[in-house]
Amino acid sequence: MTELNIFHEYGYKIQAHLNLETYALAIKLLKYEKDAPNNIKRPKKDLGYHLSLCQAFAISRREGVSLTMFKEDMWCFEPVIGLGLAEAPQYFLEGNNRFPGTAQNIEAGKNWAQSFPHFEFGEYKGITFAPLIKTTFEPDLIILYCNPAQLTQLLIAINWIDGNDVNCRLSGHAACVYSIVPTIKNNRFQVSIPCMGDRKRAIAQNDELIFSSPINKVNNLVYALINLAENNRGLPIKFQQMPEYKLAKSYAKIGKLIGMDID
């Protein structure tokens, strides 16, 4: 099996075990323009218009389209600054992006702007992405949009791997940036919230959350999902609403050890 086929297989298995409604996306950050895959279109050059990154993600995850974007393709500035395609201007760093619309004062706006996740200017030149099941490039990370039940399963799978939880920083803004930058900089799983732009402009649904994984952690994640399913711990959830339901042996034992009234 070729390396790309391995990524495709990851995509199919994630889809099967989570029953996702849209494609998981393979994402690669481009250090040079020459690194852009030749067979993938760019919005401005090939489609004739700019796109916000969330809009491009929506097209890719819903329609199965692969896209590459550089600064000249972008319509929203936040991923341009967040991905390091441009330096943050002082106007942004002073908080004017958030105040007065979504910050009670300029200081609050400044606090948000100056802690904004970002790569250093010039570290990357662009970004390319495609459905994981048919990527033509080796990705740096994957992102997927999921509902809360699917996220629960992902978090259980992560616990299954090493017992650790996902610790992440959440924001109501710039979902595209928060789903990518911390994932790469910290080499960790990340949960993000679709921002208002993602909801208004890119059709993110009320029940959708964003999950991200560095590519080097996807193999273990998929293996965990498979094992949970094989041990009847997978989706769909089997509902059972009754008093004094049968406890798993470990639950019953620990309950007795701490003095609970459990027979």
Span 223-233, pLDDT tens digits: 999 999 999 99
Is the peptide bond between 182 and the residue preceding it cis, with omega within 30 degrees of 0?
A: no
**H/E run at residue 162:** helix 148-162
Nearest-angstrom CA–CA distance, 200 and 231: 40
Query: Would 226 be classed as within a structural domain?
Result: yes
- Name the average pLDDT for the chain: 96
- pTM: predicted TM-score of the whole model, two decimal places: 0.94
**For residue 28, what are its two tokens?**
């690669």
In a domain, 219, yes or no: yes
> For 262, which DSSP code?
-
The parent domain of residue 219 ranges over 3-86+121-257
Q: Is 77 a member of any domain?
A: yes
Q: Is 103 contained in some domain? A: no
Give 28-85 pLDDT, tens digit per residue.
999 999 999 999 999 999 999 999 999 999 999 999 999 999 999 999 999 999 999 9
209 — pLDDT class (breaks 50, 70, 90): very high
93's tokens? 């760093």
Structural domains counted in the chain: 1
**Rg of the Cα trace of the chain?**
21
Specify the amino acid at residue 167. Answer: N
| Amino acid letter, 206 | N
| CB contact at 8 A, 57 and 177 | no
- Rounded to whole angstroms, the Cα distance separating 97 from 55 reads 20
> Which structure tokens are listed for 5?
């086929």
183: which residues sit within 8 A by CB, 6+ positions away?
Answer: 141, 143, 189, 190, 212, 213, 214
Handedness of CA 13, 152, 28, 183 (dihedral sign): negative
List CB contacts of 9: < 8 A, sequence separation 6 or more.
1
**How high is the pLDDT of residue 2?**
65
Measured distance CA(134)–CA(65) in Å, rounded: 10
Amino acid at 256: K
Alpha carbons within 13 A on the beta-carbon side of 201:
16
Q: How many CB atoms lie within 10 A of CB 115?
A: 10
Question: Can you give the pLDDT at residue 237?
Answer: 83
Beta bridge partners of 246: none
> Which one-letter amino acid corresponds to residue 119?
F
- First-to-last alpha carbon distance for the chain, in angstroms, is 52
In a domain, 160, yes or no: yes
pLDDT for res 4: 95
114: closest CA among 93, 97, 85, 100?
Answer: 93
Q: Is 230 a domain residue?
A: yes
- What are the tens digits of pLDDT across the range 169-200? 999 999 999 999 999 999 999 999 999 999 99
Tokens of 120: 């250093």
Residue 263 falls inside a structural domain:
no
Under the banding of pLDDT at 50, 70 and 90, the label for residue 123 is: very high
Note whether residue 187 is domain-resident: yes
* pLDDT at position 1 over 60: no
